Structure 1
Amino acid sequence: MLKEGEMGGFTLLVVVVLILAAEFVNGWTDAPNAIVTVVTTKAVKPKTAVAIAVVGNMIGAFYGRAVAQTIGTEIIKPEAINLVTLGAALLAIVIWSTAASCFGIPTSESHALLAGLAGAALATAGPAAWLPAGWKKIFAGLVISVLFGAGGGFGLGWVLKTFSASWPKEKSNRVFQVLQVLAAGGMAVSHGSNDGQKFIGIFTLSMVLAGFLPGFQVQPWIIILCSLVMGVGTSVGGWRIIEKVGVKMVKLEPDQGLAAQTAAAASILFASSFGIPLSTTHTINTALMGAGATRGISAVNWGIVKELACAWLFTFPACGLIGYLTAWLLIRF
Structure 2
Amino acid sequence: MELALVLVVVLVALSFDFTNGFHDAANAIATSVSTRALTPRIALGMAAIFNLVGAFLGTGVAETIGSGIVDVGLGLHGMAVVLSALFGAIGWNLITWRLGLPSSSSHALIGALAGAGIASSTTVHWSVILDKVVVPMVVSPLSGFVLGYLVMVAILWAVRRKAPAPTHRRFRVAQTVSAAAMSLGHGLQDAQKTMGVIVLALVAGGFHSGTAIPWWVKLSAALAISFGTYAGGWRIMRTLGRRIIHLDPARGFAAESVSAAVLYVAAIGFHAPVSTTHTISSAIMGVGATKRLSAVRWGVARTMVTAWVLTLPAAALFAAAVYGVVGLFV
Pairing partner for 1:224 from 219, 224, 246 = 219
- Partner in structure 1 of residue 132 of structure 2: 137
Pairing partner for 2:118 from 110, 122, 141 = 122
SS at match of 1:295: coil
The one-letter amino acid paired with 1:45 is T
Q: Which has the larger displacement, 156-165 or 139-148?
A: 139-148
Pairing partner for 2:45 from 41, 51, 58 = 51
Pairing partner for 2:55 from 51, 54, 61 = 61
* TM-score between the two structures when normalised by the length of structure 2: 0.95
Alignment of 1:85-100 (within 5 A): 85-100=81-96
Residues 27 and 240 in structure 2, CA contact (< 8 A), matched pair in contact too: no
Residues 10 and 84 in structure 1, CA contact (< 8 A), matched pair in contact too: no
Once the two structures are TM-superposed, the CA of residue 133 in structure 1 deviates from its matched residue by: 3.1
SS at match of 2:120: helix
1:301 matches 2:292: no
Once the two structures are TM-superposed, the CA of residue 216 in structure 1 deviates from its matched residue by: 2.2
Pairing partner for 2:20 from 16, 26, 29 = 26
RMSD between aligned alpha carbons? Answer: 1.7
1:291 matches 2:291: no
Alignment of 1:166-185 (within 5 A): 166-185=161-180
Once the two structures are TM-superposed, the CA of residue 124 in structure 1 deviates from its matched residue by: 1.1
- Partner in structure 1 of residue 29 of structure 2: 35
1:280 matches 2:310: no
- Partner in structure 2 of residue 258 of structure 1: 253
Q: Give unpaired runs (5+ residues) of structure 1.
A: none
The one-letter amino acid paired with 2:274 is L
Q: Which has the larger displacement, 37-46 or 311-320?
A: 311-320
CA deviations over 1:166-221 (Å, ceiling 9, x no partner): 11111110111111110000000001111111111111121111111132220111
Once the two structures are TM-superposed, the CA of residue 238 in structure 1 deviates from its matched residue by: 0.9
CA deviations over 1:92-143 (Å, ceiling 9, x no partner): 11111112111211111011001100000011124x4335235311123213
SS at match of 1:82: helix
Residues 106 and 241 in structure 1, CA contact (< 8 A), matched pair in contact too: yes
1:234 matches 2:225: no
1:316 matches 2:312: yes
Q: List 4+ stretches of structure 1 deviating above 4 A.
A: none
SS at match of 2:70: coil
Q: What is the number of equivalent residue pairs in this alignment? A: 326
Residues in 1 aligned to 2:203 and 2:26: alpha-carbon distance in whole angstroms: 33
Pairing partner for 2:149 from 149, 154, 158 = 154
Residues 72 and 78 in structure 1, CA contact (< 8 A), matched pair in contact too: no
Residues in 1 aligned to 2:150 and 2:139: alpha-carbon distance in whole angstroms: 15
Once the two structures are TM-superposed, the CA of residue 296 in structure 1 deviates from its matched residue by: 0.7
Residues in 1 aligned to 2:159 and 2:103: alpha-carbon distance in whole angstroms: 34
Residues in 2 aligned to 1:162 and 1:151: alpha-carbon distance in whole angstroms: 17
1:210 matches 2:205: yes
Residues 19 and 90 in structure 2, CA contact (< 8 A), matched pair in contact too: yes
- Partner in structure 1 of residue 186 of structure 2: 191
CA deviations over 1:22-44 (Å, ceiling 9, x no partner): 00000001000000111000001
Q: Give unpaired runs (5+ residues) of structure 2.
A: none
Share of identical aligned residues, percent? 35
Residues in 1 aligned to 2:222 and 2:236: alpha-carbon distance in whole angstroms: 22
The one-letter amino acid paired with 1:61 is A
Cα distance change of structure 1 residues 279 and 152 upon mapping to structure 2, 3 Å threshold: same
CA deviations over 1:240-282 (Å, ceiling 9, x no partner): 1111121111110111101100000000000000211111100
Once the two structures are TM-superposed, the CA of residue 10 in structure 1 deviates from its matched residue by: 7.9
Once the two structures are TM-superposed, the CA of residue 332 in structure 1 deviates from its matched residue by: 2.3
Residues in 2 aligned to 1:259 and 1:222: alpha-carbon distance in whole angstroms: 34
* TM-score between the two structures when normalised by the length of structure 1: 0.94
Residues 80 and 326 in structure 2, CA contact (< 8 A), matched pair in contact too: yes
Residues in 2 aligned to 1:10 and 1:222: alpha-carbon distance in whole angstroms: 17
Residues 77 and 131 in structure 1, CA contact (< 8 A), matched pair in contact too: no
Residues in 2 aligned to 1:32 and 1:243: alpha-carbon distance in whole angstroms: 8
